[in-house]
Structure 1
Amino acid sequence: MDKKTIIINGENFSELETFYVETDKVLSKNLDWQTGHNLDAFSDLLEGGFGVHEYKEPIKLIWKDFSKSKLDLGKKLSDKLVRIIEEHEHIEFSKA
């Protein structure tokens, strides 16, 4: 069975708050509550179980337009977000 592919689109955000809005959009669905907009909540979303993929279900995550995001968010923050993603062993991650 193929892994689900989830795309974070760097064209859809230009700062951290709108990054969280984008990741909410692609990593959760049909929630009747608002996710937290912080690094811990982002890590929790990556774990799964929020309507898009099951908890620790193997997925492919592609960060489209990563070079734009790195300019928008800054190297330090974008590197931190990548480290958070890469800590999740069930995620096959790539930048596009």
Structure 2
Amino acid sequence: MVPAPPEVSRFLHGGRLETMPRRREHRLAVARWLAHAALPDLLEPVGERELTRRLGAVADDPVGVRRALVDLGIVHRTRDGAEYWRTELTEHDRLTEDDEPAGAAGTGGPHRTLHLDGGRVDSIAAFYVELDRVFMAGEDWRLGPSLDALDDLLHGGFGAAHGAGRLTVVWHGFARSREALGFAATREYYLAKLADPRFDSGLFRRRLADLEAGTGKTYAELVLEVFADHPEVQLVLR
């Protein structure tokens, strides 16, 4: 377990949380530490009883804390409450850094694995919000919502990809993301470009026509093409 930082330890007694603090910023700080302590693996589903047991090791009211984590949006659960999983990358997380396998010499850095939550991707804009959440934690700026920005990100010059010799991106719930970034969203995207005089109307009119004719690519397919242009990045779709 990651030791509690000063802003959290002030609310602990004998290493345990007796009550959640009232101020929201304090509640969030404590909740993020608790969520990482009980659910160290991002997006890994854990049963209700097991999560309650884990929280009971660090909190006097594990059921109340479990509810607070859900209310704050740091932990999600199935509708029936049978399983819970952590959805927020926190400051307590450490990127996976494995020894390079045989034959990987010269990659220049550790292997890192990052996780995209497809459940958060319900639009093109939300896709870039999710990229920011996973890749840009700790950065004081955010990506522009464009495929060029994604391409720059995968080059590894900044964010969580910076310094990685090998990078694995696990896209959980990709089927849902693929639907959200499908025909309807792509059509709206092209129409918005056509309405903006800053963009090449001829180019986007042709792309829209191809899409409507069934020969053009959806935004999901365009995103996969960008990943494919980076063979040093392994994309795992789940």
TM over 0.5: yes
The match for 1:7 among 98, 101, 115 is 115
The match for 2:226 among 62, 67, 84 is 84
Distance in 2, matches of 1:55 and 1:84, equals 20
Q: TM-score when scaled to structure 2?
A: 0.38
When you count strand as a share of all residues, which structure comes out higher?
A: 1
The match for 2:126 among 5, 11, 18 is 18
Give the match for residue 173 of structure 2.
65
Ranges in structure 2 where 5+ consecutive residues have no aligned partner:
1-98, 101-110, 184-217
What percent identity do the matched residue pairs reach?
28
Higher RCO (C-alpha 8 Å, min separation 6) = 1
Q: Secondary structure at the match of 1:62?
A: strand
Give the match for residue 235 of structure 2.
93
Q: Which amino acid aligns with 1:58?
A: R
1:36 CA displacement:
1.1
Q: Which amino acid aligns with 1:94?
A: V
Distance in 2, matches of 1:52 and 1:15, equals 23
Q: TM-score when scaled to structure 1?
A: 0.87
Task: State the Cα RMSD in Å.
Answer: 1.7
Give the match for residue 74 of structure 1.
182
Ranges in structure 1 where 5+ consecutive residues have no aligned partner:
none
Runs of 4+ in 1 over 3 A off after TM superposition: none
The alignment of Structure 1 onto Structure 2 pairs a total of residues equal to 96
